[in-house]
Amino acid sequence: MTTNTTSESSTAAPLLNLQALVVSVRRRRRLWCSLALIGLLIGAAVAVLRPPPPAAMAKVLVAHQDDQPNDTGTLIRTDVEVLQTTRIADKALKSLKSSVKPEDFLQDYRGTGLTNNLLQIDVTGDSDAEAVARAKALADAFIADHVRRMQETAKAEAKALRDQRDRMRKELARVNESIGGRTPETDPESSASMESLFARRAELTSRIADFDQRAEDARVGTPRIISGTQIVDDPRAVRHSVPMAAVTNGGIGFALGLVLGLAVAAVGSVVADRPVLRREIAANLGASVIAELRRVPRRPVTLWQRRRTRAQRERLIATLARTVRDSGESVSLLELGCAHTTSVLALDLAGALAADSPVVIIDDLPALQRAARHQEPGGPAIVSGDRAADVPPQMRRLGVGSVAPGTAWTGLQDLGSQTVLVVRAGHGSTAWLHTVARQLADLLIPVIGVVLIDPDPRDRTDGTLWDGQHTALRGHNERLARQNAAGRQLTERPSWAVRVPDSDQEAR
């Protein structure tokens, strides 16, 4: 039954926990804030150190022979592409008497279609005067080329219409000759033929008149295009504001850096798979979160932060002292990612327990000696892990050690028969938390509870396992079975046992 329940819960677990992802990204705010700040500084530095070259702008009104109100901008896009050809660039350079190659000049200007008939030309140069001259030359070259093309188009169209008209005139002459060579006859077939010739003559006369009108319209339309295509905004230098450019580039760099930082933080959080929520840490370690505490800072902090951290630590010490007093066995504090904080907690806890009976701290953590230097004289005795056997049995033992990667698991039993895990949120991976729970269970060291260091202040998930005293503690369960039922063997697995998977085996 338990195996099925575990399988069902694993299947129902979401592939990506959005809440945990958001919390992980928020905890990495130093990363994405730093990248955003770097992007802001780079953008502002580029605007200041590499200002844009002098530029000029001109606007040209372009008239087209096929202008339509519902045009989607095809004609003006064609004009933009024509402007950016070597023919226009060569004509402009010849008017400027410049030795620059047209292919290189194409990189210094661009055209933009503002409306269906309005073209904007942006040009750069070595100076404002040169940029203005280049813009004027480009506008004139484009207008001349556009007018020439329209004239050639109109001439070609008019010539084609006139040629068609001349062919019809020749055909009309033949029809008139046929009509003039006929005599009135009473034969019905001859009358029908004459009517057909008269109808053809009328049709040819109408079409000749139509071609004449179309040829005239094509010829007359050219002056309208010539007069309509003109410079409507004279070339002028574009003023560049360094502060405005710095603000704009800085904003763009800030946005890009922020997006990059968030993306890196999100991907890193998913890949690292480091639990940050109380619920996840409690489930992976198989023990309840009994208290939370901000990380004890190494550097000086403000008075308000010192008071708040001290109040939280006093409440935590009172909770741990009550828990240790209720336990008849030795207790250890095992840290994961918070050695300094664990050392300070061990010294404070030993001081609180010293009022009832003498306390000896078994030190297996290098940070403990550094933290002890800042304590007041007359504090609890501290012995190394090698001298744990020399501690008198009537004295209360408080072990301090670590379960970080590289831990010597066999030495943890000398620190205490029970333990309180002091874990920094987001430090250990899911796989390592499973390893810690499994190893402690194999060593028959029950976990009284978990003290979560540096938790997310917005975390509202429940980190309490109501059967946390027995969760994932295979060794503890076996020891209780031997004590309470001597000689009796467990024949079935308890219904409340929870599997703690690992790469090789599981903790029961």
**For the chain, which residues make up each domain, given as ranges?**
18-51+243-270, 55-239, 274-484
Alpha-carbon dihedral sign for residues 336, 341, 347, 349: negative
Phi, psi (deg, nearest 5) at residue 398: -135, 105
What tens digit of pLDDT does each residue of 252-286 get?
A: 999 999 999 999 999 988 888 888 888 888 888 88
The CA distance from 343 to 334, in Å, is 10
Residue 181, pLDDT score: 65
What's the pLDDT band for 372 if we cut at 50, 70, 90? low
Q: Is the pLDDT of residue 93 over 50?
A: yes
What tens digit of pLDDT does each residue of 188-213 get?
A: 666 777 778 778 888 888 888 887 77
Q: How far is CA 193 from the centre of its chain?
A: 84
Instruction: Retrieve residue 325's tokens.
Output: 């007093």
- The type of residue at 291 is A
What's the pLDDT band for 488 if we cut at 50, 70, 90? very low
Q: Is the pLDDT of residue 481 over 60?
A: no
* Strand runs labelled E in 348-478: 359-363, 381-384, 396-402, 418-424, 447-453
Q: Is the pLDDT of residue 92 over 90?
A: yes
Please state the rounded mean pLDDT for residues 168-177: 81
Among the ranges given (7-11, 152-156, 306-310, 344-348), the one the predictor scored with the smallest mean pLDDT: 7-11
Contact residues for 443 (Cβ-Cβ < 8 A; gap 6+): 409, 410, 412, 413, 475
Instruction: Retrieve residue 31's tokens.
Output: 């990363």
Among the ranges given (84-98, 319-333, 379-393), the one the predictor scored with the smallest mean pLDDT: 379-393
Helix (H) or strand (E) holding 340: helix 339-353
CATH class of 274-484: alpha beta
Average of per-residue pLDDT values in the chain: 79
